[in-house]
Amino acid sequence: MKIDFRDYYNLENYLFNDVNQRFHNQGYIDHKDFHCILVWKANRAKYKNAAKIIKNGETYEEAAISFTKELYKCNSPENRFKFTVGKPFNFLLPTASAILTVLYPKEFTVYDYRACEFIKDKNKEKDYNKISGDLWTFYSNFINDVILLTPDLPLREKDKYIWGWSFKQDLDKAEKNLMEILKIN
């Protein structure tokens, strides 16, 4: 198979098109595709997260295939979630949600600081920076809030909407900070 390196240029398109399709066609993905998910989520923590799936004596390739085959066998969103965050993998919610969102974008949404800020801004009573109780219930409630507080779009598009909202907030802060700097000089 000849590689077209341009596929990696837009990692998000590669993940949600090629990797997602490969996962559902084969029932697993290899370590390169799995690693792309980890890089997309948090490049700074990719090796730490990759190590979570490797058992004694396994290669990264074997571990990724084994992990994703087992994930593919899970028969419900709740089971997929619990498999990913449970023992022995113990992925933290942001990483688990990224893996699951790439592989099941109609069922899962990205849990990150941007989404938490959005929900807190739109629903003053919610603060998703404080996880308590059953993690599946917590995350299910988070998904419901994402659905309710964003426009009527597919779940993956809601992620993009929230990311855009957060980026706009950052732009506004940058503009304000720049104006303050210019007043001083």
Would you list the domain boundaries of the chain?
Answer: 1-107, 109-185
- If you compute the radius of gyration of the chain from its CA atoms, what whole number of angstroms results? 18
Distance CA 93, CA 131 (A): 10
Distance CA 70, CA 76 (A): 13
Q: Assess whether the previous peptide bond of 77 is cis (omega < 30° from 0).
A: no
pLDDT(185) > 60: no
Give residue 92's identity as a one-letter amino acid code: L
Place of tokens 């994703």: 68
- Tens digits of per-residue pLDDT, 5-48? 888 899 999 999 999 999 999 999 999 999 999 999 988 899 99
Give residue 164's identity as a one-letter amino acid code: G
Contact 67, 53 (CB under 8 A): yes
Distance CA 119, CA 2 (A): 43
For residues 39-63, average pLDDT: 92
- Tens digits of per-residue pLDDT, 127-147? 777 777 889 999 999 999 999
Length of the chain as a residue count: 185
- Tens digits of per-residue pLDDT, 113-131? 999 999 988 887 777 777 7
Picking from 178, 185, 118, the residue whose alpha carbon sits closest to that of residue 148 is 118
Q: For position 184, what pLDDT does the model report?
A: 64
Alpha-helix residue ranges (DSSP H) falling in 104-154 = 113-122, 135-149
CA atoms within 13 A on the CB side of 157: 5
